[in-house]
Amino acid sequence: MRVEKASHTEIAGWLNRIEAATGRLERASKTPLGQLERFHGFPRHSTPPTFWKTYVSGPKYSYDQMPDLTGKVAIVTGANIGLGYATMVALAGHGAHVFAACRSKQRATEAIERALVEVKERFPNTAPQDPQIEFLELDLNDLHKVRRAAKEFLDRGLPLHILVNNSGIMGVPYQLSADGIESQFAVNHMGHFVFTMDLLDRIKTSQPSRIVVLSSLGHETTVKGGIDFETLNDETKSSAMTRYGRSKLANILFGKALARRLKDERVYVNIAHPGFVATALSRSANETYGASAEKVFDFMKSWMAMTPETGALTQLYLATTAYARDEELQEKLWEFSEELVREKLGKKKPAAAAAAAATSSSAGPKN
Ligand SMILES: NC(=O)c1ccc[n+]([C@@H]2O[C@H](COP(=O)([O-])OP(=O)(O)OC[C@H]3O[C@@H](n4cnc5c(N)ncnc54)[C@H](OP(=O)(O)O)[C@@H]3O)[C@@H](O)[C@H]2O)c1
């Protein structure tokens, strides 16, 4: 017992020393990081320190590439903090009417107040005069409340073009939701399942529309067999992190099954792993695994994670980028290609069509 305690303290000590060194390096590298941030087009933010992964690999989508979203209505779950907050700010900053679907009215109201200022600061050229962000009460831990939230939105009579199922909890100690379902499965999957299905008719009548599901690479650490439907609530068959993995696998399976059901609609379902992002997602590490685990998470977040602003670009890309699915652009490309063929090859038929015509005429009629 004493040995265990000693090594525990020692690890914490090492982490403290590493953290102190991290702080020194951060200060030393502040100028180049600041420059790189400007290069990527977003201002320095009061999130945890930003690090090499964000800057070395760099985002492929940028806030400058986001289209004008005037007239679009979006819901972002868990928008009061982290990736959801960054997503809400960017959507509102490009003209969308955004609903922050959050469980705490106070946290959401404070976040919206901050966001309304940030929208104008970060997106001065695209933000509308009066950015529209509203609170929608949504507690994914209680399916009756989820249903109520969807109804509250539907009663407003608005279209719904973008739904970002972003809320999530990770690695929390074993507990049951209000409906008696293991909590990570309940919040991360079941709550979003009910919310999405209740909103689906509205999403369909608003098409083209998007549903973005936040999953995680963590889905690979699921319980044995993927999803253990028979023993979902059996605490002995899972750990805090395999339960997270199971819920994130459920996000992918749900997203794919939904996309299949919507294949004839212009409702597009996209599933994202945002990368490793410095957010409050690991807030239960202390409670579940102890103080050292929390320090490890904090250290990794400091050195290896992206800022929420950079991490959110993946879900924003999936929620907003239009190029490949832009029918106008598709037709424009078609006309341009035909025009280019005429210009380069004259009025001649393309080689493949000419060959096909020759074959069919030499083969003669078939009965
Ligand atoms: N950060 C990463 O590295 C990472 C990696 C892979 C995937 N993801 C995924 O990204 C998504 C966003 O996570 P994040 O990193 O931004 O985490 P975060 O900062 O902890 O934000 C999570 C959000 O979910 C909300 N939430 C939790 N329980 C809820 C409930 N019962 N009902 C409604 N909302 C609830 C939280 O609200 P409160 O503030 O009220 O608790 C918060 O707004 C999650 O789905 C996560 O699995 C993140």
Q: Which domains does the chain have, with CATH numbers?
A: 50-325 (3.40.50.720), 328-363 (no CATH)
Residue 53: what pLDDT?
53
Residue 38: what pLDDT?
25
Residue 287: what pLDDT?
84
Residue 29: what pLDDT?
28
Closest-CA residue, ligand 1 atom 1, reads: 277
Ligand 1 centroid–CA 7 distance in Å is: 32
Buried/exposed code over 312-345 (b: 16+ C-beta within 10 A; e: otherwise): bbbbbbbbbbeeeeeeeeeeeeeeeeeeeeeeee
Residue type, 106: Q
Closest ligand 1 atom to residue 142 Cα is 31
Residue 21: what pLDDT?
32
The pick from 141, 277, 315 for probing ligand 1's pocket by mutation, whose C-beta has the most ligand atoms within 8 angstroms, reads 277
Closest-CA residue, ligand 1 atom 24, reads: 167
What is the C-alpha separation between 82 and 312, in angstroms, rounded?
9
Closest ligand 1 atom to residue 218 Cα is 6
The pick from 165, 246, 281 for probing ligand 1's pocket by mutation, whose C-beta has the most ligand atoms within 8 angstroms, reads 281
- Spatial contact of 316 and 61, defined as CB atoms under 8 Å apart: yes
Q: What is the dihedral of CA 255, 219, 320, 161, to 10 degrees?
A: 40
Residue 337: what pLDDT?
94
Closest ligand 1 atom to residue 279 Cα is 19
Residue 356: what pLDDT?
57
- Spatial contact of 246 and 184, defined as CB atoms under 8 Å apart: yes
Task: State which residues of the chain have pLDDT below 70.
Answer: 1-59, 322-326, 348-367
Gyration radius (Cα) of the chain, Å: 25
Ligand 1 centroid–CA 187 distance in Å is: 10
Q: Assess whether the previous peptide bond of 208 is cis (omega < 30° from 0).
A: yes
Residue 358: what pLDDT?
56
What is the C-alpha separation between 17 and 10, in angstroms, rounded?
11
For residue 20, what are the contacts with CB-CB under 8 A and spacing of at least 6? none
Quickly count: other Cβ atoms within 10 Å of residue 266's Cβ: 13
Residue in the structure block whose two tokens are 């800022």: 307
Ligand 1 centroid–CA 119 distance in Å is: 21
Q: Where do the DSSP E strands lie in the chain?
A: 73-77, 97-102, 132-137, 162-165, 209-214, 267-272
Q: What is the dihedral of CA 110, 111, 116, 122, to 10 degrees?
A: 140
For residue 252, what are the contacts with CB-CB under 8 A and spacing of at least 6? 213, 215, 219, 271
Which of 190, 185, 293 has the alpha carbon at shortest distance from 246? 185
Among 55, 63, 244, 317, the one annotated catalytic: 244
Sheet strands side by side (includes 209-214): 132-137, 97-102, 73-77, 162-165, 209-214, 267-272
What is the C-alpha separation between 203 and 69, in angstroms, rounded?
16
Tokens of 167: 């809320």
Ligand 1 centroid–CA 278 distance in Å is: 11
- Spatial contact of 96 and 89, defined as CB atoms under 8 Å apart: no
Q: With H, G, I as helix, E, B as strand and everything else as coil, classify residue 321.
A: coil
- How far does Cα 4 stand from its chain's mean position? 40
- Spatial contact of 163 and 210, defined as CB atoms under 8 Å apart: yes
Closest-CA residue, ligand 1 atom 42, reads: 78
Q: With H, G, I as helix, E, B as strand and everything else as coil, classify residue 211.
A: strand
Tokens of 320: 């907003």
Ligand 1 centroid–CA 153 distance in Å is: 21
Which of 22, 54, 86, 51 has the alpha carbon at shortest distance from 295? 22
Ligand 1 centroid–CA 77 distance in Å is: 9
Sign of CA dihedral 360, 361, 362, 367: positive
Residue 359: what pLDDT?
55
Region of 346 (left: φ > 0; alpha: ψ -120 to 50; beta: rest) is left
Pocket-forming residues, ligand 1, beta carbon under 6 Å:
77-78, 80-84, 102-104, 107, 138-141, 166-170, 187, 214, 216, 273-274, 276-277, 279-281
The pick from 114, 273, 276, 279 for probing ligand 1's pocket by mutation, whose C-beta has the most ligand atoms within 8 angstroms, reads 279
Q: Is 244 a catalytic residue?
A: yes
